[in-house]
Structures are given as structure tokens and as C-alpha cells.
Amino acid sequence: MKKKEKFIKTCDLSVSHVLLDFVNKELLPGTGISTNQFWRGFSKTVHDLSPKNKKLLETREKIQKSIDSFHLERKEKKFNFNEYKIFLQKIGYLKKSGPNFKIVTKNVDKEISSICGPQLVCPVTNARFLLNGANARWVSLYDSLYGSNIIPETRGALKGKTYNPIRGKNVIEYSRILLDKYIPLKNISWKNLDKIPNINNGKLNIELRDKKQLVGYKKVKNKLTSLLFVNNNLHIDIIFDYNKKLEKNNPDGNQDPLKIHDVILESAISTICDHEDSVAAVDAEDKVLGYRNWLQLMKGTLNSKFKKKGKIIKRKLNPDREYYSVKNKKIKLHGRSLLLNRNVGHLMTNHAILLKDGSECPEGILDAFITSAACLHDFKKKGNSRTNSIYIVKPKMHGPEECAFTNLIFDKVEKFLKLKKNQILCGIMDEERRTSVNLKECIRILKKRVFFINTGFLDRTGDEIHTSMEIGPMELKGDMKSTKWIKTYENNNVDIGLMCGFSGKAQIGKGMWAMPDLLNEMMTQKISHPMSGANCAWVPSPTAAAIHALHYHEIDVFSLHQKIKKRKPANLNHLITIPVNNDPNWSKDEIEKELKNNAQGILGYVVRWIDQSVGCSKVPDINGIGLMEDRATCRISSQHIANWLHHGVCSKKQVLEIMKKMAKVVDYQNLKDSSMKDQDPYQPMSGNFEKSIAFKVACDLVFHGKYQPSGYTEPLLHFNRLIKKSI
């Protein structure tokens, strides 16, 4: 049995000693804020804001009950869309759109305002992943191509365990094609150069079609070692071998007549350090792990040791990159992604702190205080934001009122930390239906601090299903993507962002590529994100960031914005069209296949979350393809089965039998998954259904899914993870 957590009374609060020690001994020293000041100010603020937080959650429930009643009262009638729209307006769900306006956010770093590119999302509790994410600002194209399925393993080009010169040759040839495409030479192809170029007095001895693309260079002992170019505001650094010793240790460069050692792409322009969907943080111990990692990122001291191929490797933050400009002046480029912090939403509470009435502290308020205070350390050295801005992505806000509450939280934190007004900038996750249909008004509330909006198909669809649970059975998940509302949702996000002046000031983002091993498929498909007008989109790994960066070399997103502004705006009526199937004619096989797919995803995610405290990982799907799973994927799958159960598409007995069958599949996949060896010994669910907490939780998410607040998975996951930790 785990030792009971110790709490210490301070300023009308009961604070876990783990959190108290972290704040007092690690967070506050060097900030000019005393421990007494911090806890007194936090206590006053959290006791003032908690009732407001609670009232907003009660409003969510009240609105949901009204919508449920509307559908139930008209169960036997033909659905009347106009009546439905008027009803949504009457209950305050659908707000009146006000006059047009432009956001006035100030002090935004150029990574947000003027560079279009990939955005990584990393669990804040994993130091190694965070360092990989921060350092993914600059990624090897050679390594990314060599290790991915973009280069086919045909005609002897196998990856193997040692370097394969046949595959290396293919990588070099592919890279030359890209150089010809994005940094074209005037009279010759990169493929036909046979010796390292030279640069004297800022002049290159090979002629570029666009001379402005050459930014700088490096030399060692008067020999060129690097040429730095730019295309669509993204840098490409060509690294050359320059002595025999380096050539000997570099087989990929050795087989290249031009002696290019590597091509380094500016890749993950920004990285979200996530306290929310990708972590399993349920108590003070978990929260402090994430807070400490974020603090050390802001101090620039985060490091991680791990074993690879029998060797101990220490990873730390990359330094800035230094070059000489074409005018022979020293220039410096930022060596790391701009780091953003995703706090939790308004729903969650955490018993790391208990208020004077014994209730748990709203976790989002705690996150705002701690993560913002950590940024005070960065302001001294500008290792992250060069404008002294704090970037907090705020998820799961339902409509303008909840955006206003976020604004109030940030106002309070700014005053307490003696920051400038609107120094904390806010990213709006457009992932809840009430935010989507009122996005313009949500942005209006935060127009002085908004830096980011994005779309997320999974959470947004989970909320779509839950909101309209009573109307009828929802479409197959795969068919959802071709329905009216999802296409409108994706376009509306861009339309509203551009209408509100985001272009050149803030990010318009798109969702995650969920298959990190299928990068050739990503290369083909994810170009749709910059083509949609998104100036950033999520990727699951540094390698995926490098590959996705190529799409932003291909598409000039800011120029595209001018064309998109001229199109007809998305139709609000389509956005509130419910993806219900009133006359389903699915076969038994189709229903079973859908249930198996959903059940497998839920079980694969939940067993790692509950048993291993892994909040995001590559979980094999029903076909064995690794998918990046987080709580959003769990939400849509559990809500989808819950909806079908509620409307009799399937039975509880049928679902339970499928859950048990798929548990065996998941157990088999996990027992042979080498990545699971880094975790605690895996505990199979099958053969232990009555005692497996993970299996019970997976079933509860489905069988009690209709009654979960907004269809969220967090309450059940957190409660049961705490039980698991106490055993």
C-alpha cells in the first residue's frame, strides 16, 4: 500500500508537501516572490475564482439537459432544423455574432507570427520527449528520410541494423531533388555539382535563381562547412565535410561526390509542452513531475540520461546556431522550438491542494499560476520567448463565457506576478461544439491575448456525439469525415481566423498526424493542412516534423491566405447539422467491425494509462498499425459506442463480449511490444477481467459514457488511476 500523502496547512489551504516543497524550494527562488506572498496570493485568487469555475460547469450541465430534453420531446417528430436553431439561440448556446474586428495581440514571437511550420505536442512529464521536442527546431533530413518509409525498402535499400550505402544513395538523390525544388541554382542542378562550393566576400561561386535565399555560412580553417538558405521563412542548412577525419566517420557523406554531410531542416517551429491530454497526471507527485520539467525548460537546465545500444546518453537543450551573414557579420538563429504550455481545462480538479471547505483545487487555476511563475526565470535570459511573452494553450472551453473566465484567470495571475497586462497569451482549442459555433465571439473576448486557434477532429467529434446523444445513432466514425459539419468546421476555423486578422499575427492550426510510422502517407496527405490555410499543424515526432516542414516549403501559406479571404465563408447552418443516421442499414458485420475498432482503441489506450501512467503513446490499432493515442481518441471511441448502445444499434452483452475479445488482442500486442519493456511489468486484462482495473475503466467509459460530463474521459480515468496508485 502506498504511503498516505502528507498535507500542510498554509493560508487557508491544505497543500501536499510534495507540491509545497517544489514551489518553495525550486519555483520561487530567483523570482523575487516570497513563499508567503505566493501562497497568500494564490489562496485569495483560488477561493475567489473557484465558485465562478463551478458555476460555469453547472451551466454546461444545464445546457446539455436542455438539449437532451429538446430531442426527447420531439422523438417521434420529423427533425425541424429551423426550430432547432431558434432553440439553441434561446438557451444561449448560439450567440449573436457581433461586428467584425481584428485581434490586437502584442509582443508575439516570430515563430507564431511570421513562420509557418510544424508544431510538436509532447507530454510534459517525459523529460526525454520534451528535449526531443525542443531540439526538433533543427532536424536532419538525411536521418529522417533514411529511417522512414518515404525511401522504399526495394532493390537492396533495406534499413538493416548497420548503414546501407544503397539506401544512403537513395537518400542523397531524394535530397538533391528537394534542393533543386526549394533552392534552385541558375545554370546547374544540385545533382550535377561535383565539388564543395566556395564563398568569398559574401559571394557564392555558384549562382542561385534567387540570390536572396542565401542567408549565411560557416567556415572552419577557411573551408566552407555550411551554407544557410531560406525559403518561405524556413531555413535549410547544408552541412559539408571538411577534413579526412570527418569524412571517414561519415559514410553518407563519403559516397557523395559533393561531400554533403547532411541537410538540416528548420522543422518544429513551436512545441506544446502538454499538461493535459497526453499525460496521466492525477496527484501532486504527477503534477510536480510536469511542473519541474517545465521549470527546468524555462531555466534552460533540463537534461535526461538514458541507455541506447548499451551506452548512457545525456541529452540537453541545443544551443543557438551561429553563422556569418553574406555581409560577413555574425548572426544567430534560435536553436530550439518556441515552447508553449497547454494547461488543463476548467473541468478538472486536483487534490494536490484542498481549499478551506475541503474541496479540491481547480487544476486549471493551479496550472496558470505555476507555469506562468516558471516563465519568470526565462525572462532573465530569453532562452525561449525573446519578447517575454508566456504562451498558454487553453483546452476544452465551451463558448465565450468560459473564454472570459480564462481571461479573468490570466488577469489575476498577471497582477499577482507583476506582469504587464496581456503578457500571458492564450491559445484557443476549437474542439468543443459551443466554441465552434461561437468562435468569432470567443476570439473577441481574448482579442488582446489570443495567439492560436486550431481544430481537432477527435475531441470535436466526441463533443458532437455527446451534445446530440438523444437525437439518434451517429454515423460510422470513418463516415463522419465526409459529413457536412466536419468540412464546415475545418473551413470555419480558417475563415474566422483570417477575418479576425490572424494572418501574420497568430497561428491557425490543424490536428495531429496519428500514424508516426507511415510518413510516406503523411507526405502525400498532410500537405492538405497548409493548403487549407493553416500556418501550423501537429506532428507526433521530430522526424515527422522534418517531413511535414517540406510541405511549408511547397506552400506559401501567407500568400494563400489572400485567396482564402475571397471565398464564401463557411455556412453556420452546416456547422450545426447533426451527423445522425436516422435510417441506419448497417450489416451485422459492419456494426461488429466498428465496435471492435472502437473497443480495441479504448482498451489499448486505457490499459497503458491506468497501469503504466502513460498518457500518450503509439498504440497498435486493430490492424497492427501504430496510432498516437491520447484522451481525445478515447473520448470519441467511448462516446460512439455509448451512443449506439443508447439507441439499440448494439446490446450491452454484445459490447461486453467484444471488449473481452479485444482485450486479448491488446494483451498480445502489448506483451510483444518492445517499448513496453521500459515500463512496469505488463498485467494482462484477459483472464483477469474481474480484478483488472484497466478493463473495468474501459467498460465504464462505454457503459456510463452517456453520463460523463461532456463525454470526457478524465473523471473515470483519474479516479481509477488514483486507486491503482494506492495499491
Each residue's pLDDT tens digit, 483-517: 999 999 999 999 999 999 999 999 999 999 999 99
Residues 371 and 514 in one domain: yes
Mean pLDDT across 306-312: 80
Residues 225 and 286 in one domain: no
Q: Which of 277, 463, 630, 700 is catalytic?
A: 630
CB 573 within 8 A of CB 170: no
SS3 42: helix
Mean pLDDT across 265-279: 97
Residue 386 has pLDDT above 60, yes or no: yes
Question: Of all helices (H) and strands (E), which one includes residue 325?
Answer: strand 321-325
Q: Which of 137, 176, 292, 342 is catalytic?
A: 342
Domain stops at, among 207, 233, 266: 266
CB 17 within 8 A of CB 8: yes
- The single-letter code of the amino acid at 633 is T
Question: Of all helices (H) and strands (E), which one includes residue 63?
Answer: helix 35-73
pLDDT of residue 555: 98
CB atoms near residue 257 (< 10 Å):
11
Mean pLDDT across 534-544: 97
Residues 654 and 568 in one domain: no
Residue 243 has pLDDT above 60, yes or no: no
Torsion angles phi and psi, residue 122, rounded to 5: -130, 140
How many independent structural domains does the chain possess? 3
Dihedral (Cα; 453, 457, 461, 464), 10-degree rounding: 30
Mean pLDDT across 303-310: 83
**What is the pLDDT of the chain when averaged over all its residues?**
94
Long-range pairs of 157-165 with CB within 8 A, sequence gap ≥ 24 = 163/251, 163/252, 165/251, 165/255
Question: Domain range for residue 244?
Answer: 140-266
In a domain, 59, yes or no: no
Cell of 670: 502489448
| CATH number of the domain that residue 170 is part of | 2.170.170.11
Mean pLDDT across 36-61: 98
pLDDT of residue 248: 40
pLDDT of residue 674: 64
In a domain, 48, yes or no: no
Residue 599 has pLDDT above 90, yes or no: yes
pLDDT of residue 678: 63
Q: How confident is the model at residue 250 (pLDDT cuts 50, 70, 90)?
A: very low
Residue 697 has pLDDT above 60, yes or no: yes
Distance linking the first and last C-alpha atoms of the chain: 5
In a domain, 80, yes or no: no
Residue 251 has pLDDT above 50, yes or no: no
Dihedral (Cα; 37, 43, 48, 54), 10-degree rounding: 150
CB 214 within 8 A of CB 186: no
pLDDT of residue 625: 86
Residues 426 and 292 in one domain: yes
Q: Strand pairing of 450-455 and 507-510? A: parallel
pLDDT tens by residue, 578-595: 999 988 999 999 999 999
pLDDT of residue 242: 64
| CATH number of the domain that residue 374 is part of | 3.20.20.360
Question: Of all helices (H) and strands (E), which one includes residue 230?
Answer: strand 223-231
In a domain, 416, yes or no: yes
C-alpha distances in Å from residue 58, one per residue of 347, 559, 639: 10, 44, 21
Residues 472 and 559 in one domain: yes
Domain stops at, among 575, 603, 636: 575
Residue 273 has pLDDT above 70, yes or no: yes
CB 189 within 8 A of CB 176: yes
In a domain, 41, yes or no: no
pLDDT of residue 626: 87
Residues 246 and 311 in one domain: no
Cα gap 581→471, rounded to integer Å: 10
Residue 56 has pLDDT above 60, yes or no: yes
Could you please report the per-residue DSSP string of 2-26? PPPPPEEEETTEEEEHHHHHHIIII
Q: Strand pairing of 507-510 and 536-539? A: parallel
Residue 66 has pLDDT above 60, yes or no: yes
Residues 569 and 610 in one domain: no
Q: What percent of the chain has pLDDT over 70?
A: 97
pLDDT of residue 203: 86
Residue 1 has pLDDT above 60, yes or no: no
CB atoms near residue 198 (< 10 Å):
14
Cα gap 707→712, rounded to integer Å: 10
C-alpha distances in Å from residue 432, one per residue of 534, 641, 715: 19, 19, 18
Sheet holding 7-10, edge to edge: 7-10, 13-16, 349-354, 360-362
Residues 309 and 193 in one domain: no
- The single-letter code of the amino acid at 585 is N
Cα gap 611→280, rounded to integer Å: 10
CB atoms near residue 719 (< 10 Å):
12
Catalytic: 630? yes
In a domain, 4, yes or no: no
Cα gap 629→614, rounded to integer Å: 10
CB 113 within 8 A of CB 522: no
pLDDT of residue 477: 93
pLDDT of residue 677: 61
- 684-697: string of b/e by CB count within 10 Å (b at 16+)? bbbeeeeebbbbbb
Catalytic: 680? no
CA atoms within 13 A on the CB side of 33: 27
Torsion angles phi and psi, residue 685, rounded to 5: -85, -40
C-alpha distances in Å from residue 338, one per residue of 123, 341, 391: 16, 10, 9
Based on its alpha-carbon atoms, the radius of gyration of the chain, rounded to whole angstroms, reads 26
Could you please report the per-residue DSSP string of 136-168? TTEEEHHHHHHHSTTS---TT----SS--HHHH
Torsion angles phi and psi, residue 725, rounded to 5: -70, -25
- The single-letter code of the amino acid at 612 is Q
Domain stops at, among 215, 236, 266: 266
Write the CB contacts of 439 (distance below 8 Å, at least 6 apart in sequence).
Answer: 428, 430, 453, 492, 493, 496
In a domain, 15, yes or no: no
Q: Furthest-apart CA pair in the chain: how many Å?
A: 84
Q: Strand pairing of 13-16 and 7-10? A: antiparallel
Cα gap 9→356, rounded to integer Å: 10
Residue 352 has pLDDT above 90, yes or no: yes
pLDDT tens by residue, 649-674: 999 999 999 999 999 999 999 988 76
Q: What percent of the chain has pLDDT over 90?
A: 86
Residue 247 has pLDDT above 80, yes or no: no
Residue with more model confidence, 193 or 290? 290
Cα gap 275→292, rounded to integer Å: 12
Residues 304 and 350 in one domain: yes
Helix orientation angle between 542-554 and 127-135, rounded to the nearest 10 degrees: 20
Residue 176 has pLDDT above 60, yes or no: yes
Mean pLDDT across 187-191: 92
Q: Strand pairing of 199-200 and 117-123? A: unpaired
Residues 521 and 607 in one domain: no
Torsion angles phi and psi, residue 212, rounded to 5: -70, -15
Cell of 392: 498558454
Residue 246 has pLDDT above 60, yes or no: no
Residue 309 has pLDDT above 90, yes or no: no
Residue 213 has pLDDT above 80, yes or no: yes
CB 711 within 8 A of CB 720: no
Dihedral (Cα; 145, 148, 154, 159), 10-degree rounding: 90
Cα gap 249→135, rounded to integer Å: 23
Residue 249 has pLDDT above 50, yes or no: no
Mean pLDDT across 442-460: 96
CA atoms within 13 A on the CB side of 413: 25
**In 227-283, which ranges are continuous DSSP H helix?**
244-248, 251-254
In a domain, 31, yes or no: no
Residues 145 and 108 in one domain: no
Q: What is the pTM of this model?
A: 0.96
Q: Which of 378, 377, 357, 353 is nearest to 365 (CA)?
A: 353
Torsion angles phi and psi, residue 247, rounded to 5: -60, -40
Residues 203 and 320 in one domain: no
Q: Strand pairing of 338-342 and 270-274? A: parallel
Cell of 699: 467498460
